[in-house]
Amino acid sequence: MIDLHTHSIFSDGALIPSELVRRAEFTGLKGIGITDHGDLSNIDFIIPRIVAIAENLNHVLHIKVIPGIEITHVPPTLIADTANKARALGAKVIIVHGETLVEPVAPGTNRAALEADIDIIAHPGLISEEEACRAKERGIFLEISARKGHSLTNGHVARIAGKTGAKLVINTDAHDPGDLIDKKMAERIVRGAGLTEKDFSMMQKNASIFL
């Protein structure tokens, strides 16, 4: 299991990175992205610290730590600039906090993210077919989410991805220790979205490029 979307104490997570990674390793994960919430006010603080801990842990653990960021509630016109700065700071996986149903994300966030240098749109809500086609064109993954609330539109995201050929990943968006899941639970969430074990395998193949 590879989980590219988690949070530490550098934003609103409960754990320091080392404990988050250890708990993920114990759960059976072979890769974890630490992608704390960021905007132009804090990415220069967060990303270098995640890069540093990833470099240290990757020398001594079997689990692979991928440093990243989740660009969160940034106005659509600033997403591209924020992503460019995050990449320059060393983020290996850049996520944009998509237009989930359960938060007041600015309209146009999904569309702006699809024109930026990003890797994943997290919990993209009622993403349009046109937007999903653009995700496919640009090689940007859409997320199936294990997180309460954000998971409400998993079925829609799965259907639109199937129709357009957009690629998917499954992530936890973990903030607390109990949010981490093993492969068996991840497979069940994928099936709950109307997909198959074969789809889950493809999602893990998609995620593996970050390793």
The pLDDT value given to residue 4: 98
Mean pLDDT of the chain: 98
The pLDDT value given to residue 117: 98
The pLDDT value given to residue 160: 98
Q: Are the C-beta atoms of residues 133 and 160 closer than 8 Å to each other?
A: no
pLDDT tens for 46-64 read: 999 999 999 999 999 999 9
pLDDT tens for 129-164 read: 999 999 999 999 999 999 999 999 999 999 999 999
pLDDT tens for 95-133 read: 999 999 999 999 999 999 999 999 999 999 999 999 999
- Of 137, 45, 57, 47, the C-alpha closest to 86 is 47
pLDDT tens for 56-91 read: 999 999 999 999 999 999 999 999 999 999 999 999
Domains of the chain: 2-208 (3.20.20.140)
Q: Provide CB contacts within 8 A for 98, sequence distance 6+.
A: 105, 109, 110, 113, 121, 122, 123, 124, 125, 127, 143
The pLDDT value given to residue 169: 98
pLDDT tens for 10-58 read: 999 999 999 999 999 999 999 999 999 999 999 999 999 999 999 999 9
Q: What is the pTM of this model?
A: 0.97
